[in-house]
């Protein structure tokens, strides 16, 4: 495509690119102070000295071990404070420090962890530590978040054997009072340990929450190079969910985040009999793999280069191979998935998204079942913060009210 809706911004090199100093001072410092993406539940006092150290040492490559390792002392100090608070019986303070340590590890293993990273990978090591401290924090919450390892019943030869998920169920949910469920499909860099705020909002509304990582990321067992591996993944996840008497399987919605939005679109068709609705939030479907788009995407709002993570996430050998083969292999338009009937599907994004073109939402209105959408002018990828209230409002309209659920049950 010669022209994109984002206009002249498509050809710009955003000012934070290639400089940890600019990334911190122009972008992440503000996000950290406001505790917004990707610093949810973090503390500015934890991060400011880390980034000063990174700037002083001129460490600019977020993919490097040097970047990741710079965060470890702060995270370990927070863990120690948490352990001390727990030994004194102050579980609330312990949870706070464990949570903060988890956020520090989260930023340190940014931007990407592959399922195939070995034990010698600094990113993998940081993620393993993040999971450990996060679950310590979340086990104290009311209601708690619990990790469940389920069998991948529908696996193919190159899929892994088990699927790790996080489950959070509101108090009072049981076989006599099953509740609606939101299945969160995570993103390229945001994993199952990075959705605390969403889980808070979901259980507060009386719904259960299941969080699962998408193919090619973190601990997902799904073959990243196989376009059909997500279908097998969700088959196994839904089979497990059906075994939980607390879940009302008549009222299940998917919510795909960023790269997960691609899978929310796909599942809306491939699993429309299992879903009452699906939210694709910041999704790609076709043009995000366009060769012309990929030529400039590393220059936009993503904190570091985006294509190295995308290459590994989709199982390609290099960027050139992804540019040549990606769209034909994975596009939901090219493969005909988007033309199939679907459950209700809400598309959300910012019009100025420089990671996934807004064209990927718009093209879907001409394919398959009718779609719903809300797009936010002058906002980048995901359309934060304006898009979040829309997502919750849509889910509230999708699920029956509590009194209606009680009448049904």
294/177 Cα distance (integer angstroms)? 48
Question: Annotated catalytic residue: which of 258, 269, 342, 387?
Answer: 258
Any alpha helices (H) in 3-90, and if so which ranges? Answer: 20-23, 29-34, 44-56, 65-69, 72-87
353 part of the active site: yes
Strands 247-257 and 145-151: unpaired
Burial (0-12, 13-18, 19+ Cβ within 10 Å), 107: buried
CB-based burial, 141-156: b 16+ in 10 Å, e otherwise = bebebebeebebebbe
Side by side, which strands form the sheet with 344-350?
145-151, 162-168, 208-212, 179-185, 247-257, 277-281, 344-350, 372-376
Task: Answer yes or no: are the C-beta atoms of 248 and 177 closer than 8 Å.
Answer: no
Task: Answer yes or no: are the C-beta atoms of 351 and 5 closer than 8 Å.
Answer: yes
Task: Answer yes or no: are the C-beta atoms of 332 and 262 closer than 8 Å.
Answer: yes
200 part of the active site: no
Whether residue 385 is preceded by a cis peptide bond, meaning omega within 30 degrees of 0, is yes
Structure tokens at 173: 């949910």
Structure tokens at 117: 């990273």
Question: Annotated catalytic residue: which of 152, 286, 367, 381?
Answer: 381
Instruction: Give the DSSP per-residue string, 341-377.
Output: --SEEEEEEETT-SSS-THHHHGGGGSSS--EEEEET
258 part of the active site: yes
Task: Answer yes or no: are the C-beta atoms of 213 and 187 closer than 8 Å.
Answer: no
Question: Annotated catalytic residue: which of 219, 298, 353, 360?
Answer: 353
Task: Answer yes or no: are the C-beta atoms of 180 and 207 closer than 8 Å.
Answer: yes
Task: Answer yes or no: are the C-beta atoms of 66 and 53 closer than 8 Å.
Answer: no
Structure tokens at 260: 């997960």
Helix/strand/coil for 275? coil
Active site members: 258, 353, 381
């Amino acid at each position: 495509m010669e022209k994109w809706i984002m206009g002249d911004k498509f050809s710009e090199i955003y000012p934070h690119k290639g400089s940890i100093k600019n990334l911190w001072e122009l972008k992440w410092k503000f996000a950290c102070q406001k505790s917004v993406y990707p610093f949810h539940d973090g503390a500015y006092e934890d991060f400011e000295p880390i980034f000063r150290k990174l700037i002083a040492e001129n460490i600019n490559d977020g993919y490097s071990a040097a970047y990741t390792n710079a965060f470890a002392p702060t995270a370990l100090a927070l863990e120690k404070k948490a352990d001390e608070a727990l030994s004194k019986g102050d579980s609330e303070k312990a949870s706070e420090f464990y949570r903060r340590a988890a956020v520090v590890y989260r930023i340190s293993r940014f931007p990407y962890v592959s399922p195939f990273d070995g034990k010698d990978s600094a990113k993998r090591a940081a993620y393993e530590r993040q999971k450990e401290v996060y679950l310590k924090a979340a086990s104290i919450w009311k209601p708690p978040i619990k990790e469940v390892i389920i069998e991948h019943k529908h696996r193919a030869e190159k899929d892994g054997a088990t699927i790790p998920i996080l489950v959070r169920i509101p108090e009072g949910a049981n076989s006599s009072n099953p509740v609606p469920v939101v299945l969160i499909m995570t993103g390229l860099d945001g994993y199952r340990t990075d959705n605390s705020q969403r889980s808070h909002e979901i259980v507060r509304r009386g719904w259960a929450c299941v969080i699962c990582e998408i193919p090619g990321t973190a601990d997902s067992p799904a073959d990243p190079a196989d376009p059909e591996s997500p279908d097998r993944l969700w088959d196994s996840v839904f089979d497990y969910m059906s075994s939980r008497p607390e879940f009302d399987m008549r009222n299940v919605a998917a919510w795909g985040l960023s790269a997960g939005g691609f899978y929310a679109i796909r599942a809306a068709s491939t699993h429309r009999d299992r879903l009452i609705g699906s939210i694709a939030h910041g999704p790609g479907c076709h043009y995000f793999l366009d060769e012309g788009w990929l030529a400039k995407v590393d220059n936009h709002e993503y904190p570091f280069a985006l294509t190295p993570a995308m290459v590994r996430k989709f199982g390609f050998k290099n960027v050139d191979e992804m540019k040549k083969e990606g769209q034909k292999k994975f596009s939901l338009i090219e493969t005909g998935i988007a033309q199939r009937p679907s459950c209700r599907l809400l598309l959300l994004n910012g019009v100025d998204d420089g990671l996934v073109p807004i064209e990927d939402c718009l093209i879907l209105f001409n394919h398959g079942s009718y779609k719903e959408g809300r797009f936010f002018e002058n906002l980048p990828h995901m359309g934060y913060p304006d898009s979040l209230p829309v997502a919750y409002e849509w889910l509230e309209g999708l699920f029956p009210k509590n009194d209606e659920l009680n009448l049904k049950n």
